[in-house]
Amino acid sequence: MLKPFRKVPVLNTANLLLVENEEQLQSRLGEIILQIEKDVKINVRLARKLPLPMDTQDSRPRIDLVVFIVNLMSERSLQCAEKSIKCLDPGFFLGKVCFVVTGARCLSVSTNHLLTVRKMAASLHCPLLFAEDQTSEGVSTVAVRLLGILKVAAGLVPLATGLSLNSLAHCVLPSDLDELDSLT
């Protein structure tokens, strides 16, 4: 179980954990985030799934933001994210978790996958970002947005906390979807 407050924070540092089963987008995202941020020291940890292995526990810093990257084209990716969420301490859901969805533009993707992710993000009150992973502009856009959330979650932005950002930016399901669900 990954705990948010097990380690003491380091001054002027933000630590990001990217969880992606396919390992396609996460290293690119990490590199871009490190490139654009010069003032703050950022550590990026890449993982395929949670729980994280025990042997890297000592070297692992306090995680400020956990990002689950879900590729809608692969069912396995979704299942893996669903399983991984259970290994997070509930404390993370107070503004330290974010979902990124890729491949939503693809027409062959079944709409159920997207709906599942949205429901998951809505029930956990987490932000949900859509990413275009085929173009470099798309990747850098997501990187910039993630960096913004990370800085807030790490407490580097005055007068803003992860929790307050969450209450503004968390994913909401449209009400008609709920009605549709109750009908079926």
Partner 1 sequence: MDPAVRNLLLRILRKIPTGKLEETLTKWTHLSRTQQQSLNYSQSKWILHENIVYLCEENGLTMKHVSELDMIYCMENPTSATWRACQLTDAEDDASSVELISFKEQFKAHLSELIRNVSIKIKKHDDESIWIRIAWGDHFSKPNHLKPTYVVHYLQTPYVFICNLSSKNKLLLHQALVLATKHGSIKDANLSGRSFHAVRDLLMGHYNKTFPTSHSRPLKERNLSPTHPNIVKEHIEQAEKRQQLAREAFGEGTVPKLERATYTLETRFRGGSGIDTFIDSERPFKTVVTFESKSLLASLRHCVSSGMAESPVSPLLSSITQKGRNYFVITDKTNKGPDMTTQSFRSNV
- How many CB atoms lie under 10 A from the CB of residue 172? 11
CB-based contact 162:95 (threshold 8 Å)? yes
Return the range that interacts with partner 1 (CB under 8 A); candidates 26-34, 98-106, 127-135, 168-176: 26-34
State the nearest-atom distance from the C-beta of 181 to partner 1, in Å.
28
Q: Which is nearer to partner 1, 45 or 118 (CB)?
A: 45
Q: Which residues contact 13 (CB under 8 A, 6 or more apart)?
A: 40, 41, 42, 43, 61, 154
Among 5, 10, 27, 172, binds partner 1 (CB under 8 A): 27
Which parts of the chain are beta strand (E)?
13-19, 41-47, 65-71, 97-102, 128-131
Q: Which is nearer to partner 1, 31 or 89 (CB)?
A: 31
State the nearest-atom distance from the C-beta of 75 to partner 1, in Å.
8
42-81 footprint of partner 1 as x/- string (CB under 8 A): xxxxxxxx--xx-xx--xx-------------x-x-----
CB-based contact 70:77 (threshold 8 Å)? yes
Q: Which is nearer to partner 1, 28 or 170 (CB)?
A: 28
Q: Of residues 74-113, which lie at the interface with partner 1 (CB under 8 A)?
A: 74, 76
Distances (CA, A) of 49 to 84, 153, 178: 6, 21, 30
Residue with tokens 């009605």: 179
Give me the residues that bind partner 1 (CB under 8 A), please.
Answer: 21-23, 27, 30-31, 34, 41-49, 52-53, 55-56, 59-60, 74, 76
